[in-house]
Amino acid sequence: MYKTFSITSMCLLGALHLCASAAQLSPAEQPSRQFMFDDFNYQSFNQAQKNGWMVRTETGHPGIKGAHWWKEGVTFHPDELNHANFVMRLTSKTDGTAINTRQTQVCHKRKYREGTYAARVYFNDQPQYGPDGDGIVETFYAISPLKAPMDKNYSEMDFEYLANGGWGEGNHALFATSWETFQLKPWTKVNQYDAVRNSLQGWNLLVLHAKGDTLSYYINGELFAQHGPEVFPEVPMSINFNLWFIQEQLVKNPAMRQYYQDVDWVYFSKDTQLTSQQVIEQVTHLRKNKVTHHDTVPNWSPKQDDYCSL
């Protein structure tokens, strides 16, 4: 479904530094003044923290009950295909027990609502080591705190890749889920969702439009989900990536296994609807000009407390 067949598709799926010559931007196409871009060109998380990133350490939902959220699981590495380019890596591991499970989550400031969200993410179908088959969730999403069960002002928009399937889907599935609200006990949810049911092993461009009263989800330039005003976000959200295990779908094996997902870059443009190709052009323009981080998205008014949890 998502085969490369043009320079656009090559840019979506390949190394962006190779696409600079294809991205000739007119003045009207120059990056918005209110946008956030991060190339994850860091050596340590302390450097990322100075640019507004946080890592989760608080226990709790989602994932394995009682599992640790692991700061050391967020690291930075050279891209295997281009060692001059760095990527952020989220690494999670489990042996099936809460005490030995490490899940990872990284978050940016709570100031995002309407606009274009985009990230280039590497999904893995198999663990780095250990037995395969766990319900593993690899993500890119935006979320607000749930202040109370069934809070109507809760907002969440998710890309969630289930490398081993789950939630009623077998083998592989990428879910686009937009939330109005939920409660954990008893489990009750109000959302809309769609799924792509095939392997997405490798690099993928994820783009989400939140504009007007419609949420539109794209994978590698293809629209695969649209959700309506019932689940459109009411409040500002943080931008997040996490990697966690579905408790009900753990392999019955005591051996440790470890998974990872990589993030090449993340981009948000306030109050715009950029196509996947336009996002590529913006990011290529920034990289060509050696911009590794830029953030002119204003704080929400009133300013929201930063957090990195559910």
Asked if 123 and 279 count as a contact pair (C-beta separation under 8 A), the reply is no
**Is the pLDDT assigned to residue 88 strictly greater than 60?**
yes
- 35-295 fold: Jelly Rolls (2.60.120)
**Is the pLDDT assigned to residue 67 strictly greater than 90?**
yes
pLDDT digits (tens, 9 = 90+) for 190-229: 999 999 999 999 999 999 999 999 999 999 999 999 999 9
Other C-beta atoms within 10 Å of 249: how many? Answer: 16
SS3 119: strand
Provide, rounded to the nearest whole percent, the portion of the chain with pLDDT above 90: 84
Per 3-state DSSP, the chain is made up of helix, strand and coil in percentages (nearest 5) of 15, 40, 45
Of the listed ranges 137-146, 165-174, 198-207, the one predicted with least confidence: 165-174
Name residue 196's amino acid: V
**Is the pLDDT assigned to residue 7 strictly greater than 60?**
no
Domain limits, the chain: 35-295
DSSP 208-262: EEEETTEEEEEETTEEEEEE-GGGS--S-BEEEEEEEE-GGG--S--S-EEEEEE
In the prediction, which pLDDT does 32 show?
Answer: 53
Q: Which pLDDT band, with edges at 50, 70 and 90, does 307 fall under?
A: confident
Q: Which pLDDT band, with edges at 50, 70 and 90, does 3 fall under?
A: very low
Average pLDDT over residues 228-241: 97
- Within 13 Å of residue 30, how many CA atoms lie on the same side as its CB? 5
**Is the pLDDT assigned to residue 1 strictly greater than 90?**
no
- Going by C-beta distance under 8 Å and a sequence separation of 6 or more, which residues neighbour residue 144? 110, 153, 154, 155, 156, 233, 235, 236, 237, 238
Mean pLDDT for the chain overall: 90
Average pLDDT over residues 265-281: 97
pTM of the model: 0.91
- Cα–Cα distance for residue pair 199/209, rounded to 1 Å: 23
And the tokens for 125? 């179908």
Q: Is 207 exposed, middle or buried (0-12, 13-18, 19+ CB in 10 A)?
A: buried
- Please state the φ and ψ torsions of residue 198, each to the nearest 5 degrees: -160, 165
**Is the pLDDT assigned to residue 110 strictly greater than 70?**
yes
pLDDT digits (tens, 9 = 90+) for 8-65: 444 544 444 434 333 344 434 455 579 999 999 999 999 999 999 999 999 999 999 9
**Is the pLDDT assigned to residue 2 strictly greater than 50?**
no
